[in-house]
């Protein structure tokens, strides 16, 4: 216990130092929310990937590999494709347009793109962003509590509060730069930790054929790329749901604010390869850890959940504790917390910007100068963090059997379904109208809870939508709503005057 706490203390100290150092660079609202748009490609790429993956990568995806087998690699394919499309085809035009509008938030970008005559578009965007970001942050805080409880033996609620205090402290001081620099540091830890663990585990196995035969003996369905169900439609919807997780990389605000913040388009050319390689290696390693853990720690006929926890989410923890010396166990605890905190910090900055910049300044006090918002932005960050903490505590009490995967994916899907269709259509369809954008956001926002809590409960078809999950259908309907309402309410053409 002492060794683990010592390693964690060093890790937390580094984060605090990053926050203090970043605070010296924060001299304006732009600095606090987008780092003055001077972020380099290494930091932007690692920060975007660390933010996009979160605790679900180390606990959720590893668990999925243990329970779903090799079919979980469809998640890897979907995420790599999503990241590649985002960096290759969307990052540059988004950077170009957001810079031309002098945008420092996603609602800023939308306001510049559509030039609305009222604040309705900005209000909807900021509201949707605030709601789902709070849900997503609360899911990450929940994961923090679970991680402390599983890895150190600290009470869940105490662990969640400790993690909350640490991450809130360094972003309260340093803002976006603290988030980016800490994400870079934490992303490096995640990268090397995930790559190293399956290699270490592999050396405890005599041969590849022994591994494959062992998995086949435990459950032959683990080796079926097309799923573990006897129902082919269940497998099809499951695979589609796995692959469609990558849709969230096509415009989610917590990721796209990195494109706003990056120095220039040349940095995007360099950063895209870093982001794609990071995604491919870490995601593949996470699924492989799950498979290796299932082979090493479960037996034929044994309930894997009894050994590896709900959803197999303790597989990484079990592997670390059985295969590594105590000091390295402490390092892996820090790596798990890195995955979680690298998402919490970015999300809180995005939520704070929605309230401070998009509501308080742009809607209610349009003449207020940016330099008068510094203190308010920090207070709002703290209040949003406290709200997320309260929600995570409530969910922990009301839903003790929840899995990390569904809680995090629900928040992730809500943000993605609300904003990704709008970002895609606004970049690639010049006739896309303000009414179309509003329809897309409202549809995506409402469809996520609709599919989760209503459609999935319908007898007969609900089980298929449960496997598909909420992002793909919500995303599709949001795109369709944007197209329909743009056709019904086209953008007004601005007449040119001499």
Calculate the average pLDDT of the chain.
Answer: 85
Q: Which of 75-84, 183-192, 413-422, 428-437 has the lowest mean pLDDT?
A: 183-192
Residue 320 vs residues 58, 127, 283, 317, 332: alpha-carbon distances, Å: 12, 41, 18, 5, 7
**226 φ, ψ (degrees, to nearest 5):** -95, 15
Each domain of the chain, given as residue ranges in start order, spans 2-488
Q: Provide the token pair at 441.
A: 């956001």
In Å, how far are 241, 369, 452, 470 from 442, measured between CA atoms? 22, 31, 16, 15
pLDDT over 80 at 497, yes or no: no
- Asked whether residue 262 carries a pLDDT value surpassing 60, the answer given is yes
Query: In this predicted structure, which of 283-292, 329-338, 457-466 has the lowest mean pLDDT?
Result: 329-338
**Which bin fits 26, alpha (ψ -120 to 50), beta or left (φ > 0)?**
beta
Token pair of 44 as six digits: 């932007």
Q: Where are the alpha helices (DSSP H) in 354-403?
A: 374-398
Per-residue tokens: 381: 């960050």
Q: Highest-confidence range of 259-268, 340-349, 489-498, by mean pLDDT?
A: 259-268
Q: Which residue has the higher pLDDT, 71 or 189?
A: 71
Cβ atoms within 10 Å of 325's Cβ, excluding its own: 9
| Nearest one of 366, 417, 416, 105 to 257, comparing CA atoms | 105
Looking at mean pLDDT, say which of 169-173, 177-181, 318-322, 400-404 comes out highest: 318-322
Q: Residue 66 and residue 414: Cα distance in Å, rounded? A: 26
283's tokens = 């995601």
Asked if 418 and 441 touch (Cβ cutoff 8 Å), the reply is yes
The whole-angstrom separation of Cα 63 and Cα 151 is 15
Structural element, H or E, at residue 247: none
More confident residue, 497 or 93: 93
Which among 320, 70, 328, 327 has a CA at the least distance from the CA of 201?
A: 320
| Prediction pTM value | 0.86
Confidence of residue 27 (pLDDT cuts 50, 70, 90): low
First to last CA, the chain: 76
pLDDT exceeds 90 at position 449: yes
Q: How far apart are CA 422 and CA 444, in angstroms?
A: 10
% of residues, the chain, pLDDT over 70:
90
Question: Is pLDDT larger for residue 491 or for residue 287?
Answer: 287
User: Which helix or strand (DSSP H or E) is residue 41 part of?
Assistant: helix 41-53
Percentage of the chain beyond pLDDT 90 is 44
- pLDDT score recorded for residue 498: 35
pLDDT band per the 50, 70, 90 thresholds, residue 175: low
Q: Range with the lowest mean pLDDT among 156-170, 189-203, 213-227, 249-263?
A: 156-170
Task: Write the pLDDT tens digit of every residue in 72-88.
Answer: 999 999 999 999 999 99
Question: Residue 370's pLDDT is what?
Answer: 62
pLDDT at site 249: 92
Distance of alpha carbon 386 from the chain centroid: 20
Compute the distance between CA of residue 354 and CA of residue 434 in angstroms, rounded to an integer. Answer: 19
At 152, is the pLDDT very low, low, confident or very high (cuts 50, 70, 90)? confident
Q: Are 450 and 416 in contact (CB under 8 A)?
A: no
- Whether the CB-CB separation of 94 and 249 falls below 8 Å is answered with no
Judged against a pLDDT cut of 90, whether residue 177 lies above it is answered with no
**Nearest Cα to Cα of residue 279 among 409, 179, 197, 187:** 187
SS3 262: strand
Say whether pLDDT at 471 is over 90: yes
Instruction: State the CATH class of domain 2-488.
Output: mainly alpha
**Token pair belonging to 205:** 């196995």
In angstroms, the CA 163 to CA 142 distance is 10
């Amino acid at each position: 216990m002492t060794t683990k706490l010592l390693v964690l203390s060093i890790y937390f100290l580094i984060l605090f130092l990053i926050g203090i150092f970043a605070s010296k660079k924060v001299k304006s609202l732009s600095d606090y929310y987008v780092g003055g748009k001077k972020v380099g490609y290494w930091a932007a790429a690692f920060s975007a990937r660390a933010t996009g993956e979160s605790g679900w990568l180390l606990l959720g995806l590893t668990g999925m590999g243990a329970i779903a087998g090799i079919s979980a690699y469809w998640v890897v394919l979907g995420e790599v494709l999503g990241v590649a499309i985002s960096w290759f085809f969307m990052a540059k035009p988004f950077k170009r347009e957001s810079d031309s509008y002098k945008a420092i938030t996603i609602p800023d970008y939308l306001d510049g793109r559509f030039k609305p005559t009222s604040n309705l578009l900005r209000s909807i965007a900021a509201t949707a962003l605030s709601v789902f970001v709070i849900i997503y942050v609360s899911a990450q805080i929940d994961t923090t509590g679970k991680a402390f409880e599983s890895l150190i033996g600290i009470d869940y609620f105490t662990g969640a509060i400790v993690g909350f205090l640490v991450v809130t402290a360094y972003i309260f001081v340093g803002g976006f730069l603290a988030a980016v620099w800490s994400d870079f540091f934490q992303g490096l830890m995640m990268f090397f930790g995930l790559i190293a663990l399956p290699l270490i585990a592999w050396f405890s196995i005599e041969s590849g054929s022994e591994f494959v035969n062992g998995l086949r003996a435990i459950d032959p369905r683990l080796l079926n790329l097309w799923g573990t169900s006897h129902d082919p439609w269940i497998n099809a919807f499951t695979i589609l749901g796995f692959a469609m997780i990558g849709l969230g990389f096509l415009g989610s605000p917590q990721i796209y604010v990195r494109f706003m913040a990056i120095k220039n388009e040349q940095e995007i050319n360099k950063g895209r390869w870093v982001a794609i390689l990071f995604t491919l290696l870490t995601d593949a390693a996470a699924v492989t850890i799950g498979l290796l853990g299932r082979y090493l720690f479960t037996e034929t006929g044994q309930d894997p959940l009894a050994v590896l926890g709900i959803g197999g989410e303790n597989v990484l923890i079990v592997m670390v504790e059985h295969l590594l010396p105590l000091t390295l166990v402490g390092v892996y605890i820090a790596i798990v917390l890195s995955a979680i905190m690298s998402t919490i910090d970015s999300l809180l900055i995005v939520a704070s910007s929605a309230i401070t910049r998009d509501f308080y300044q742009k809607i209610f006090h349009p003449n207020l100068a940016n330099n008068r918002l510094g203190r308010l932005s920090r207070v709002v960050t703290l209040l949003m963090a406290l709200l997320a903490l309260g929600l995570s505590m409530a969910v922990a009490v009301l839903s003790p059997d929840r899995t990390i995967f569904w809680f995090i994916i629900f928040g992730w899907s809500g943000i993605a379904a609300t904003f990704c269709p709008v970002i895609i259509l606004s970049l690639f369809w010049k006739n896309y109208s303000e009414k179309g954008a509003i329809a897309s956001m409202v549809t995506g926002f409402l469809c996520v809870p609709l599919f989760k809590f209503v459609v999935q409960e319908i007898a007969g078809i609900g089980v298929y939508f449960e496997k598909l999950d909420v992002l793909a259908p919500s995303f599709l309907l949001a795109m369709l709503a944007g197209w329909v309402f743009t056709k019904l309410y086209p953008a007004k053409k601005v007449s040119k005057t001499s």
